[in-house]
Amino acid sequence: MGAIRTTCAYCGVGCGIRAEVSGGNGIEAAGSGDGDRGVAITGDPDHPANRGRLCSKGTHLGETVGLEGRLLYPEINGKRVSWDKAIDRVARKFADTIERHGPNSVAFYVSGQLLTEDYYVANKLMKGFIGSANIDTNSRLCMSSAVAGHTRAFGEDVVPATYEDLDQADLIVLVGSNTAWCHPIVYQRIMAARAERGAKLVVIDPRRTETCEEADLHLPLRPGSDVALMRGLLAHCREAGVIDEAFLARRVATPEGFWEALGEGADLWSTAATCDVPPADLRAFYELFAKTPRTVTLFSQGINQSIRGTDQVNAIINVHLATGRIGKPGAAPFSITGQPNAMGGREVGGLASTLAAHMDFAAENVATVKRFWAASHMATQPGLKAVDLFRQVREGRVKALWIMATNPAVSLPDAGLVREALDTCPFVVVSDCIADTDTNRFADVKLPAAGWGEKDGTVTNSERLISRQRALFPLAGEARPDWWIITRVAQAMGWAGHFAYDRPADIYREHARLSAYQNDGKRVFDLKSQAAISNADYEAMEPFRWGGAPFADGRFSTPDGKARLVPVTQMVLENPLAKWPLTLNTGRYRDQWHTMTRTGLSPRLSQHRREPMVEIHPEDAAELGIAADDLVRVATPQGESLFRALLSEGQRRGEVFTPIHWTDRQSTGGRTGLLPRPLVDPISGQPGFKSTPVRIEKVIPEWRGFAIARTLPDVIPAAYATRIRVPQGWLVEVAGEGDPASVAKAVLPRGEKIEIVDSARGGLRAAVLAEGQLIAALFITRDGRLPSREWLIAQLASADTASSIELLAGRPATPQVDRGPIVCVCFDVGMKTIVEAIATQGLISVDAVGAALSAGTNCGSCRPAIQRLIVEHKEEAVHA
Ligand SMILES: Nc1nc2c(c(=O)[nH]1)N[C@H]1C(S)=C(S)[C@@H](COP(=O)(O)OP(=O)(O)OC[C@H]3O[C@@H](n4cnc5c(=O)[nH]c(N)nc54)[C@H](O)[C@@H]3O)O[C@H]1N2
Ligand SMILES: Nc1nc2c(c(=O)[nH]1)N[C@H]1C(S)=C(S)[C@@H](COP(=O)(O)OP(=O)(O)OC[C@H]3O[C@@H](n4cnc5c(=O)[nH]c(N)nc54)[C@H](O)[C@@H]3O)O[C@H]1N2
Ligand code: SF4
Ligand SMILES: [Mo]
């Protein structure tokens, strides 16, 4: 079979992939739990988003398509049932609830990881037939402030930028975006713009992330002070005479008193004080910005995930409107999207606050959509936004909830409360690909969804490019695509005629027709050219962008055609509280995706960060007596969890950072989801995930250790136990109190056991072999050292058996070179190897390291990390 062209499963960059399928089709293997699904993944050189490149996550997608852990059959109360029975149960329960308590007593909670076709039918069912707008999505947690900001400024949620703008910009400003980790291929394009055209790069982020490695300037601002920084910038642009008065006069409505109000506190010194950045650096940024017309300001969660996210978005857009830097090549504000189809969800209108096809709930829009859908019960006003929705579930007002393609028991703020809500909700349906997630543990009905690699449809990336996702494998077990599941339920609820689709192309055509229906240029989002696409053309669809170059003609989607400057003021920044003296910031690791249901299956991707860590400034750590690798309890009023300490000069003092990825499935510690408070932006309803008052303290466990094992039970009874994939098994880090025997019992299977128990000091070393092969090992210490994990991990996958003495020592008789933690996951190159090469061979560029060791020459995701090692160790190189 030739290569199938499809789109990456993960981030909003939307990279094109060529997939060559080999091996079994997975179906026969379904019973055994692990399908033999071979697929070779390469970047699609013809896809405009990535032109052949892929980051570490895309490169290693092949390791995540097996059937391990998949939900393969519908279940009611944990028992396998037929699809007919499951559909009937869902339809009947929803119909009954609506009948007894009205349409607002039911809700859908969906996801930017659905395909556009899935999303469209879910939205149509809820808003046109159930008659409620209680369908919200995890995009509420992700982009809703950008949506609200765009709508306020442009009259429509249109992202006015493309990646070509990055190629053409002379200045790229990254605000609240760890692009090198979260949008790595966009980051590589930015690096190319620097190399080819000398584009300047400024990063505005409280943390010094790897994204700052190549930046000309990093402004480590005080969290939440972005509005002040942008207002100061606007005031500076005015003084510098770079306001585009002609554009403002003709194309932008400026509210009365806008400029007068800006004057207050927007001078350089006050702004530098509010933002807590050196005035000279701030001035350097302002001057660079003022003199560089081709500027793209790219922003993501550092801006959106704030209790003033919408104002922060408008503060950025204001500067671009006032300087006329919009609708021109290389000049635009650029909200970059997180999930692969966050944009598609916005296009169908899948947020509770939008109706459909970029229309809001204005009466004429409701009438238009009602007519188009021939809707039986049309929603007439916005529904509940995610955080409120779960609150109403908790309060018993929403009584039937269907969750699709998202894991809210982990990803909503104050996940503890969300779990209570799910627990008390009379009827919970979860559609997921995975059998056991923190959320579907609460499900009355579990519906097996087809996963990436099995689904057909379309997605829209950050720059409005629509691409096809194509199936590579047959459906696993009885899994079905989400559109199929939703339409079957709609049919069973009595709306068969309105939900009679045979294939995704049928839905796509209807979606395109709705976008064009009575549009007449009112909305930029218009897929008229797609409305009559044939099935064959849909199959063969090439990536294309809707909207062309929006606003290039200076016309915006408001009634008068003018954009809006929106007055915004800096929120009052909270002072630390005595009981919660630090601020918790949360975000992502380079090689994990959200709740790890997929990336967590890949041993390669798991090498980058093996444990959930709390990043702390060394001086804060010293004050609290915390040393590197200590266990630390991170507590907020909402909850607490244990993390490993990572001391980092890149943290601001007073702030700590934890990753969002670990769940109950992988861990008893590292549970960031339990920590954030459920405060939201008043306009968008997006939670302020980046800032929660927090307390941390060192925890001294009686013992600590690690285990490696071919297989693991669900629960490992230790205060701290985190697991990640390694080749042929798992690595578990543990720590706890009392007798570690229960851990030994849990992780060591039956077999040929060898062990050393140090009863005086309470240490333990044990290994279990089966037919001479190592299948598990456990090392526990109370005061001593632990062997390096690397060699033992290698023994799990090795055909040659080490001696008992070697296994219990945790190292080979003839010492091996210690490569240190793996930096380049594609070529398996460790940190120590790179540092040594820098020192001994005098390598002072990333390319030189690549030439010598191959590190960083495949996906390129580790290049910023290599750059950092060069900066840290180039002194040694000079002396070499
Ligand atoms: N590897 C990986 N990539 C991903 C994902 C993933 O799970 N893993 N998820 C995808 C999704 S859905 C999303 S939404 C994107 C998110 O992509 P990003 O937004 O780049 O990622 P985050 O790590 O959430 O946060 C970005 C930065 O905001 C900074 N920040 C915090 N507070 C402030 C502030 O007050 N002001 C400013 N200016 N900055 C602040 C944080 O320090 C952090 O470095 O990533 C996408 N890509
Ligand atoms: N503290 C804190 N919390 C955050 C954030 C943060 O920065 N800090 N970021 C927020 C953001 S931006 C986001 S986007 C969310 C992400 O949070 P979630 O959406 O909860 O995270 P995922 O792990 O991506 O969950 C997707 C689920 O859908 C399943 N799935 C995958 N493909 C399909 C499919 O095709 N169909 C179906 N039915 N299921 C599928 C997966 O197995 C998985 O269980 O987290 C938010 N939460
Ligand atoms: S940047 Fe990486 S994760 Fe994002 S779409 Fe491209 S390959 Fe996938
Ligand atoms: Mo997101």
pLDDT in tens, 319-358: 999 999 999 999 999 999 999 999 999 999 999 999 999 9
Residues 6+ apart with CB under 8 A from 479: 70, 71, 72, 433, 448, 449, 450, 451, 454
Q: Is the CB of 299 under 6 A from ligand 1?
A: no
Strand order in the sheet with 457-460: 457-460, 465-469, 544-545
Domain that holds residue 136: 75-141+341-504
Are 188 and 311 within one domain?
A: yes
Q: Which ligand is nearest to the CA of 573?
A: 1
Residue 28 is predicted with a pLDDT of 38
CA geometry: angle at 871 spanning 870 and 873, to 5°?
65
Are 362 and 497 within one domain?
A: yes
Is beta strand 640-647 parallel, antiparallel or unpaired with respect to 631-635? antiparallel
Atom of ligand 1 nearest to the CA of 691: 32
Are 324 and 232 within one domain?
A: yes
Are 235 and 359 within one domain?
A: no
* pLDDT greater than 80 at residue 24: no
**Which of 149-158, 389-398, 637-646, 839-848 is least confident?**
839-848
Q: Is the CB of 204 under 6 A from ligand 1?
A: yes
468, part of any domain: yes
Could you tell me if 458 and 545 are in contact, meaning their C-beta atoms sit under 8 angstroms apart? Answer: no
590, part of any domain: yes
Could you tell me if 185 and 55 are in contact, meaning their C-beta atoms sit under 8 angstroms apart? Answer: yes
Instruction: Determine the average pLDDT of the residues in 131-144.
Output: 98
Is beta strand 692-699 parallel, antiparallel or unpaired with respect to 582-587? antiparallel
Interhelix angle 83-101/482-490, nearest 10 degrees? 50
Q: Which ligand is nearest to the CA of 177?
A: 1
CA of 825 to the centre of ligand 3 (A): 15
Are 197 and 320 within one domain?
A: yes
Q: Is the CB of 184 under 6 A from ligand 3?
A: yes
Question: Which of residues 445, 478, 504 is at a domain's end?
Answer: 504
Could you tell me if 47 and 16 are in contact, meaning their C-beta atoms sit under 8 angstroms apart? Answer: yes
520, part of any domain: no
| Domain CATH code at residue 214 | 3.40.228.10
- Among residues 748, 743, 795, 747, the alpha carbon closest in space to that of 768 is found at 748
CA of 539 to the centre of ligand 2 (A): 28
| Domain CATH code at residue 759 | 3.30.390
CA of 187 to the centre of ligand 3 (A): 11
598, part of any domain: yes
Question: Measured between alpha carbons, how far is 654 from 668 in angstroms, rounded to an integer?
Answer: 26
Residue 776 is predicted with a pLDDT of 96
pLDDT in tens, 239-271: 999 999 999 999 999 999 999 999 878 999 999
Question: Which of residues 335, 353, 374 is at a domain's end?
Answer: 335
Q: Is the CB of 185 under 6 A from ligand 3?
A: yes
536, part of any domain: no
Are 497 and 368 within one domain?
A: yes
Q: Is the CB of 295 under 6 A from ligand 1?
A: no
CA of 102 to the centre of ligand 4 (A): 32
- Among residues 402, 348, 324, the alpha carbon closest in space to that of 90 is found at 402
Q: What are phi and psi of 251, to 5 degrees?
A: -115, -10
470, part of any domain: yes
Are 229 and 205 within one domain?
A: yes
555, part of any domain: no
* pLDDT greater than 90 at residue 23: no
Are 307 and 320 within one domain?
A: yes
Question: Which of residues 301, 320, 335 is at a domain's end?
Answer: 335
Is beta strand 79-80 parallel, antiparallel or unpaired with respect to 106-110? unpaired
Q: Is the CB of 342 under 6 A from ligand 2?
A: no
Determine the straight-line distance between the first and last CA of the chain, rounded to whole angstroms.
Answer: 52
Could you tell me if 354 and 362 are in contact, meaning their C-beta atoms sit under 8 angstroms apart? Answer: no
pTM, two decimals, is 0.96
Q: Is the CB of 600 under 6 A from ligand 1?
A: no
Residue 877 is predicted with a pLDDT of 74
The CA-based dihedral angle spanning residues 111, 115, 120, 125, taken in that order and rounded to the nearest 10 degrees? -60
pLDDT in tens, 217-231: 999 999 999 999 999
- Residue 583 CB neighbour total at 10 angstroms: 22
Are 494 and 597 within one domain?
A: no
Question: Measured between alpha carbons, how far is 296 from 173 in angstroms, rounded to an integer?
Answer: 6
Instruction: Determine the average pLDDT of the residues in 289-318.
Output: 98
pLDDT in tens, 159-206: 999 999 999 999 999 999 999 999 999 999 999 999 999 999 999 999
CA of 556 to the centre of ligand 2 (A): 33
Q: Is the CB of 72 under 6 A from ligand 1?
A: no
Structure tokens, 802: 């080490």
Strand order in the sheet with 763-770: 720-726, 729-736, 703-709, 773-781, 763-770, 752-758
Are 392 and 493 within one domain?
A: yes
Q: Is the CB of 15 under 6 A from ligand 3?
A: yes
Beta bridge partners of 131: none
The CA-based dihedral angle spanning residues 187, 188, 191, 192, taken in that order and rounded to the nearest 10 degrees? -140
Are 718 and 857 within one domain?
A: no
561, part of any domain: no
Mean per-residue pLDDT over the chain, rounded:
95
| Domain CATH code at residue 402 | 3.40.50.740
| Domain CATH code at residue 843 | 1.10.10.1100
| Residue percentage of the chain with pLDDT more than 70 | 98
Q: How confident is the model at residue 798 (pLDDT cuts 50, 70, 90)?
A: confident
The count of domains in the chain is 6
Residue 800 is predicted with a pLDDT of 82
| Domain CATH code at residue 10 | 2.20.25.90
Residues, beta carbon < 5 Å, ion ligand 4: 142, 338
Q: Is the CB of 300 under 6 A from ligand 1?
A: yes
| DSSP class of 70 | B
Are 238 and 298 within one domain?
A: yes
